[in-house]
Amino acid sequence: MARVAKRKAAIAGVLMGMALSGPAAAQVAASVTLARDTTGSPAERAAAMLAQMTQAEKLTLLEGYFGTDFAPANFTMPPAAREGSAGYVPGIPRLGIPPQWQTDAGLGVASQGGAKQKRAATALPSGPATAATFDPELAYAGGRMIGREARAYGFNVMLGGAVNLLREPRNGRNFEYAGEDPLLAGAIVGAEIAGVQSNRVISTVKHYALNDQETDRGTGNFIIDEAAFRMSDLLTFELAIERGHPGSAMCAYNLVNGLHACESPFLLTDVLRRDWGWHGYVMSDWGAAHSTAASANAGLDQESGFGLQSDAWFGPDKLTAALAKGELDPARIDLMAGRILAAMFAHGLIDDPVTGTGAIDVAANQAVAQADAEAGIVLLKNDGNRLPIAAGAKRIAVIGGHADKGVISGGGSSQVYPDGENAVPGLKPTGWPGPVVFNPSSPLDALRKLLPGTRIDYASGDDPAAAAKLARGADLVIVFGTQWASESIDVPLHLDGAQDALIDTVAAANRNTVVVLQTGGPVLMPWAGKVPAIVEAWYPGRMGGAAIANILTGKINPSGHLPMTFPRSLDQLPYPGEPRKKEATYSEGATVGYKWFDAKGLSPQFPFGHGLSYTRFTYSDLAVTRTDAGVVATLTVTNSGERAGADAVQLYVSAPPDSGWEAPKRLAGFAKVVLWPGHSTRVSIAVDPRLLSVWDTSVPGWSRVPGGYTFSAAHSSRDLGKGVSIQLPAERLSPQWRP
Ligand code: BGC
């Protein structure tokens, strides 16, 4: 009450001055004053602002434009949009409400491929690399870096926070996401979102939901049983949202259980708002809205990308017509505009507006990207300790992957353009969903710098015979393999072109061959048995070459662990032939990734959670207790090797018989530790009770069966220590339960 009275007094004060300078000027002053009055909660401030707004102004907030002028001829990009960006929603100057300047920002500040001018920005490594760190603090630092650059460029709504579950290993966008486990993906992406928003800008969680492949992404109807949905993809979003508190969420292109995701009351209202209690606003993906009243009534607040697509379902004409026909209640417009305003207030867009004039500390930001890449690179195989590179190596042959120039990145709307040039221009496709962009960070140059006494020669691999000749004369061969993936396509599970054959040829010429992969997700490795060492470097970002060299030489101890299973063959997948088409049931339900491999007793090429080290970590004295706060596991981690390094301790849990679980075990928690050789530390991991339950649609809510639950500390999902069992009683948690 006091806050409202104060605001009214402030408005009255300004209104009194109005007589001196005319009504219009007074209205401006009154309204801008209201924007600057920081008393009240975001919802209260939004309500007060709404009360000042005309209907036309409210509608302004509900339709977004594309922010690049290569769009169709009949579309004129609003001049106030940031050219080359994803989107723009006009502000309301008389009320002190700034525009929403939107950019893709999952892996760095992106630019649209067709834009004439591209903003140079710092590319983080791809999503799986950050997930492979098992380190939410690093993820937060990456998000904070992106938000910092975005703010400097004048963006205040980031389209980052991509957290679709890796259900389809061929999904061309897996490089934007965080792998196959709900807890790991939710924790990593939630931390990224929080990091972005620490700059007083909004971050978006996306693509909600079940946009787990690109094949038929606009028309596919993906069907899933509710309980399985709640325990897999929805749980992933739930965890990311409660950890990151994103100001916005983006509904997906596809249909879910028969309804467009942007038209689904179940997704947009029942789950997001009623169950999860989330207060942000929902924007559509670019072209994902298909109706006016049905979408608005389902819970879509803002349509995006008008101009890129020709429909403006939330344009003033259509909204006004829907109101006139009674299909939309006027209160719905207030609700939609109010949610957008409340998020803008909550995240500082109005109190601390972006100006687009900030400086970027390139070196500091590149250091963030490099630390992320170094922690995310996974040492998959290291027979006979071939790595790190021995100090006395005389001749090294580096082959393929454009390693003399840079490191590859993934394509589509998340594409970040580096400072300097694309290191390998002209590769196909040069137009959408390309271009193929290589960050100018050459692994070859970085290796030469770190190994000044070693002769290091390079062969492109275009001529396999020449590559084999070079390999034969070397002490050690490092062959680079790349797979380009992109939004709007799914990709085969192998390296591009003839690289598998090249690796075979090189490995036959010299047994001492190390393979370094840069891929969007898992690939098959028909040559895995022929080489002693394999490193997965993902798309390692702006400083990828330096990060790879630091890992290969042992300057940094590898500590990344796979956030996804690498299958041995296509027939191990739930859907082996090719990605699903049109109308498809996700019959594997919540049995995704390692859960599928465990349930079916399949032996993968490399399991979820796998990652070797140059030192050795041992786990002891695992104890599991039930406290008032829930189940807590405690264990001692010891670095029993010779080098300092980091480790990702994983905790898995198995349920009693007849638990209804989707799989024999689940990841229940994890912790990242850094230890000097010979040192130990005690680690505590609290277990989220939802991970010990199943979703019971009949109640509805989370339900835990009573009985013995077995916890194991593990180096991977297939390398578990001795289990410790604990009896747990039955437990029910409401859908609204939150930690
Ligand atoms: C993508 C979104 C992206 C949007 C704007 C869409 O094609 O699916 O992830 O944020 O474009 O660029």
Domain count, the chain: 3
> Are both 315 and 394 inside the same structural domain?
no
> Are both 74 and 24 inside the same structural domain?
yes
> Are both 320 and 229 inside the same structural domain?
yes
pLDDT for the residue 13: 29
Nearest-CA residue for ligand 1 atom 11 is 286
Nearest-CA residue for ligand 1 atom 2 is 285
Distance CA 132, CA 609 (A): 8
Distance 702 CA to ligand 1 centre (A): 33
- Listed in sequence order, the residues at least 6 apart from 279 whose beta carbon sits closer than 8 Å to its beta carbon are 42, 43, 339, 342, 343, 346
> Are both 451 and 553 inside the same structural domain?
yes
> Would residue 355 count as lying in a domain?
no
Distance 540 CA to ligand 1 centre (A): 22
pLDDT for the residue 690: 98
> Are both 130 and 198 inside the same structural domain?
yes
> Would residue 141 count as lying in a domain?
yes
Distance CA 224, CA 363 (A): 46
> Would residue 608 count as lying in a domain?
no
pLDDT band of 116, cuts 50, 70, 90: confident
What are 232-252's pLDDT values in tens digits? 999 999 999 999 999 999 999
Distance CA 527, CA 624 (A): 42
Res. 24: pLDDT tops 60:
no
Q: Domain end: 600, 634, 661, which one?
A: 600
Of the chain, the percentage scoring pLDDT greater than 90 comes to 90
pLDDT for the residue 35: 85
CA dihedral 213, 219, 224, 230 (to 10 degrees): 70
> Are both 115 and 240 inside the same structural domain?
yes
Distance 413 CA to ligand 1 centre (A): 6
285 assigned to active site: yes
> 50: domain CATH number?
3.20.20.300
pLDDT band of 190, cuts 50, 70, 90: very high
Res. 688: pLDDT tops 90:
yes
Q: Domain end: 567, 600, 633, which one?
A: 600
What are 625-636's pLDDT values in tens digits? 999 889 999 999
- Listed in sequence order, the residues at least 6 apart from 669 whose beta carbon sits closer than 8 Å to its beta carbon are 183, 633, 650, 651, 685, 686, 687, 688, 691
Q: Domain end: 550, 574, 600, which one?
A: 600
Hey, what are 242's tokens? 């409660």
Question: Which residues form ligand 1's pocket by a CB distance below 6 Å?
Answer: 86, 104, 159, 206, 285-286, 413
Q: Which among 286, 309, 414, 489 is the best mutation to test ligand 1's pocket, defined by most ligand atoms within 8 Å of the CB? A: 286
> Are both 336 and 456 inside the same structural domain?
no
> Are both 382 and 505 inside the same structural domain?
yes
Distance 298 CA to ligand 1 centre (A): 21
Q: Which among 157, 487, 488, 489 is the best mutation to test ligand 1's pocket, defined by most ligand atoms within 8 Å of the CB? A: 487
Nearest-CA residue for ligand 1 atom 8 is 285
> Are both 665 and 624 inside the same structural domain?
yes
pLDDT for the residue 8: 31
Nearest-atom number in ligand 1 for the CA of 204 is 10
- For the beta carbon of residue 473, count every other beta carbon within 10 angstroms: 13
Nearest-atom number in ligand 1 for the CA of 102 is 5
pLDDT for the residue 629: 83
> 420: domain CATH number?
3.40.50.1700
pLDDT for the residue 551: 98
- pTM above threshold 0.85: yes
> Are both 183 and 313 inside the same structural domain?
yes
Nearest-atom number in ligand 1 for the CA of 252 is 8
CA angle 442, 445, 446 (to 5 degrees): 85
Res. 26: pLDDT tops 90:
no
Q: Which residue in the list 285, 445, 598, 647 is annotated as catalytic?
A: 285
> Would residue 252 count as lying in a domain?
yes
pLDDT band of 29, cuts 50, 70, 90: low
> 717: domain CATH number?
2.60.40.10
Nearest-CA residue for ligand 1 atom 7 is 286
> Are both 69 and 183 inside the same structural domain?
yes
Distance 155 CA to ligand 1 centre (A): 16
> Would residue 609 count as lying in a domain?
no
Nearest-atom number in ligand 1 for the CA of 87 is 5
Distance CA 727, CA 690 (A): 16
Three-state secondary structure string covering 309-375: ECCCCCCHHHHHHHHHCCCCCHHHHHHHHHHHHHHHHHCCCCCCCCCCCCCCCHHHHHHHHHHHHHH
> Are both 334 and 381 inside the same structural domain?
no
Nearest-CA residue for ligand 1 atom 6 is 286
pLDDT for the residue 574: 95
pLDDT for the residue 28: 56
> Would residue 95 count as lying in a domain?
yes
What are 610-663's pLDDT values in tens digits? 999 999 999 999 999 999 889 999 999 999 999 999 999 999 999 999 999 999
Question: Residue 680 belongs to what domain range?
Answer: 617-733
DSSP assignment string, 133-157: TT-HHHHHHHHHHHHHHHHHTT--E
> Would residue 226 count as lying in a domain?
yes
What are 270-287's pLDDT values in tens digits? 999 999 999 999 999 999
